[in-house]
Amino acid sequence: MKAVQLKHIRKSYGQNPEVLKGINAAIEPGEFFVLVGPSGCGKSTMLRIIAGLEEVSEGELIIGSETANRLRPNERDLSMVFQNYALFPHLTVEQNIMFGLHVKKIAKSEQIKRCKEAAEMLGISDYLKRKPKELSGGQRQRVALARAIVTHAPICLMDEPLSNLDAKLRARMRSEIRQIQRKLGITMIYVTHDQTEAMTMADRMMILNHGEVQQVGKPLDIYNNPQNTFVASFIGSPPMNLTAAHVNEGKLQIANKWDIMVDGYQDGEVILGVRPEAILPANEMLPAADVKVVNVEVLGTETLVSFELEGNKQWIAKWPGQWSAEIGEILQVSVDPNKIELFDAVTGERLEETHSKNVLEVVL
């Protein structure tokens, strides 16, 4: 196991704007670390810098205890799994898996031993004599993963390895990759644009946007305490509902429908964030306001209800179970006052919780 550190890493191409803007990260030995963000945010570039496929424009990359800026890819003691599998079509599965070992001039008997172990671990022992074209997408991905495993490298890099698979297979492969990483104890750095993958697989994750770090932390810490409106809207399915609100004399006024008593904030405009599960059906504990239903998605174990808040603004509520609300129906809903987040109206940064949240009031 090895640690990876990025210190003030910057990357630019000629006169173009920087792709990475001063990235700092410390990835612990044996950690499953996920880089997540929208397309073009710089996550794959960061992975390629760690792999040695891109040069650092500025900053320091440390792998283990060694500065790796000038090390060639084959000197970095790591393996990589690509999005497109990168298998040799003219070689068998067995030959593809052992290719890197052959290049390293490892004894043939050891190559065969490692290949069989990896193939058994990934359930592809029956396909060793086949060519890649004879395999399904999931089987090809397992071959690419086996090729990375047999090197016994302490660090494994993965660049959106599941994006070409269907939803059901992606879910299964997520679990398999995580179990393999735990079993081998390797440091894994995983790139994805899928926040569900990040939430379910990561020990810690880094959220990037426009080449800048937005937040680093454990998945649930980030979900429960987003640092800014970008993180709040990116993490979560459905994402956090965001709307302009107003603080006036200790009351948070929401869309002319609810007031929440708050302390510790200056009067003025803020951005309110509410998770879909924090919007509740009317009950006796909290006052409720009328809203108009505009869409309903019954997913079996839960129901997503979209409703008009004000003007063209819509919110989504997520309720457990199956609800038979009709489009156009007027429902009464409440907001859980203990599960709101406030952000600066100008910067979008999270406001510190130096306040208390009291009983919700409905504005009639």
* pLDDT tens for each residue of 221-234: 999 999 999 999 99
Domain 238-362 bears CATH identifier 2.40.50.140: yes
What is the per-residue pLDDT for 47? 95
* Bridge partner residues of 62 (DSSP): 5, 67
Task: Indicate the pTM of the whole model.
Answer: 0.88
Q: What is the mean pLDDT of residues 153-168?
A: 88
Q: How far apart are CA 89 and CA 78, in angstroms?
A: 23
Topology given in CATH for the domain delimited by 4-230:
Rossmann fold (3.40.50)
85-100: b (≥16 Cβ within 10 Å) or e: bebeeeebbbbbbbbb
HSE-CB at 313 with a 13 A cutoff on CA atoms is 12
The domain segmentation of the chain, as residue ranges, is 4-230, 238-362
pLDDT per residue over 180-215, tens digit each? 899 889 999 999 999 999 999 999 999 999 999 999
Of 263, 300, 258, whose CA–CA distance to 279 is shortest? 258
Residue 356 pLDDT grade (very low, low, confident, very high; cuts 50, 70, 90): very low
* pLDDT (0 to 100) of residue 359: 47
Q: Do the Cβ atoms of 125 and 158 come closer than 8 Å?
A: no
DSSP 3-state of 95: helix
54: amino acid identity, one letter = E
Closest by CA position to 53, among listed 27, 86, 25: 86
Check if the beta carbon of residue 110 is closer than 8 Å to that of residue 64.
no
Q: What is the DSSP string of 261-294?
A: EE-S--SEEEEEEE-GGGEEE--SSS--EEEEEE
